[in-house]
Amino acid sequence: MCGIIGVSSHKDAAKLVYLALYALQHRGEEAVGITSYDGKDIHIKKETGLIADAFDERSIAELKGKTAIGHCRYSTTGSSNFRNIQPFLVRHKNRPIAVAHNGNLTNTEELYRRLEEEGAIFQTTMDTELIVHLLARSKKTDLKEWFVEVLTQLKGAYSLIFLVEDTLVGARDPQGFRPLCLGKIDGNYVLASESCALDLLHAEYVREIQAGEMVIINGDKIESIFLPGAKKEKKAYCVFENIYFARPDSHIFDDNVYQVRKRLGAQLAKEHPAKADFVMSIPDSGNYAALGFSQELGLPLEVGIIRNHYIGRTFIQPTQLLRDLRVKIKLNPIRDVLKGKKIIVVEDSIVRGTTSRSRVQELRNAGAKEIHMRISCPPLKSPCFYGIDFPSKGELIGSNKTIKEIKDFIEVDSLGYLSLEGMLSVMKQSGDFCHACFSGEYPVEIPKTQSKYLLEGAC
């Protein structure tokens, strides 16, 4: 999962990209980068860490030009090191090409072996680099034909923004796994992973880039092309974007994330009601499902845990040690609210179960009399190969334990998961979502080598 942004033909392009990355920071906290083009030269700045730490006024001023793209990284292919920071930039036939990618290709190994046999020399261990090598090998001279030829060779999940001199190219895979939207500011076009980035820029939301669509933007002109056969492909929007990853103020997959999460909570309450003094959430991602749950049952909604907002998301940290430490720092129960109470705790998901167990223990220590946990999605049973770094089946508690066994492991009085049917029933396009992480039904063939580090020994 990553955040991508592109701004075309604006005098403050790099500044706007910089600001938009603040709005997209939740999509990746490992590294950030911005690339700009001034009509003659390409400029790039990349750093590990958060946007606030990586850039300052001076570095933004050095990113000259009216067209720029940016990226915040959460690694799904390739390790967390500097050479894997995006945008990825090359020069081909004296023409600069930069790319920012959100998603995960499923034919990475196949493409890598083919390109290696053809003499390609790789600089990174990202699947994104493969796309640039394919562009370099194409014999097409027309920009539209050039990109169509390359994109049709890719399988899996990709939302892409390319910077080719002063032209932006945006593209989304035929299944539409990852979101990508189009906006306008001061008459100029913007591409972004989520509409919340447009809101921050006071940009007008125009529409979503459709699954299988490619847009070519130059100045105030935009051309839309669909990849061959893309309109006939079955859509597979990532349902976990709505459950957890996207910001609640974003509009993705033809729906508002906040409203979807409330509907998930209400449906959860219908399926798994409980008697309690109040409902509370595990902040922040559980907040909106908890609101829907409490409204459906007519129970009070209380704040039982305070979140420390000076620390990022625990789920997307690359090691278990960091996750454990950040969980302890991140959330603190309010004893006076919890003491002697029967509570319903609404959480967005349970991945390994270790975090939930420690949170339940902290609630017990704070004096909670009964703890009934409710999860606003089904049990996670299968890894994701389309852009979310879910663990292997062996690490997913939902794949290895029954719901009763999970209840006993995390030590709650009762546990209820939203059903798959119930989850999909609240989505506007219920038949168009990928739910492989819950059902094991993968809409696109999964890779042979199922590791994010499959290219690590090659470079």
User: Using CA atoms, how far apart are residues 292 and 294, in angstroms rounded to an integer?
Assistant: 6
User: Using CA atoms, how far apart are residues 395 and 218, in angstroms rounded to an integer?
Assistant: 46
Using only C-alpha atoms, what is the Rg of the chain?
22
Tokens of 121: 């020399």
Among candidates 195, 104, 207, 205, which has minimal Cα distance to 158?
104
User: Using CA atoms, how far apart are residues 218 and 165, in angstroms rounded to an integer?
Assistant: 10
Q: Residue 166 burial by CB count (10 A; 0-12/13-18/19+): exposed, middle or buried?
A: middle
Catalytic residue among 2, 72, 181, 238: 2
Residue 404 three-state SS = helix
User: Using CA atoms, how far apart are residues 444 and 2, in angstroms rounded to an integer?
Assistant: 20
Sequence letter at residue 153: Q
Residue 110 three-state SS = helix
Report whether 183 contacts 204 (CB < 8 A).
Answer: yes
Tokens of 397: 């508690």
Tokens of 319: 């090691």
Tokens of 229: 């056969």
Active site residue 2: yes
**Residue 441 CB coordination number (10 Å):** 11
Report whether 242 contacts 187 (CB < 8 A).
Answer: no
Q: What share of the chain is helix, strand, coil (3-state, %, to 5)?
A: 35, 25, 40
Which sequence positions are flagged as catalytic? 2
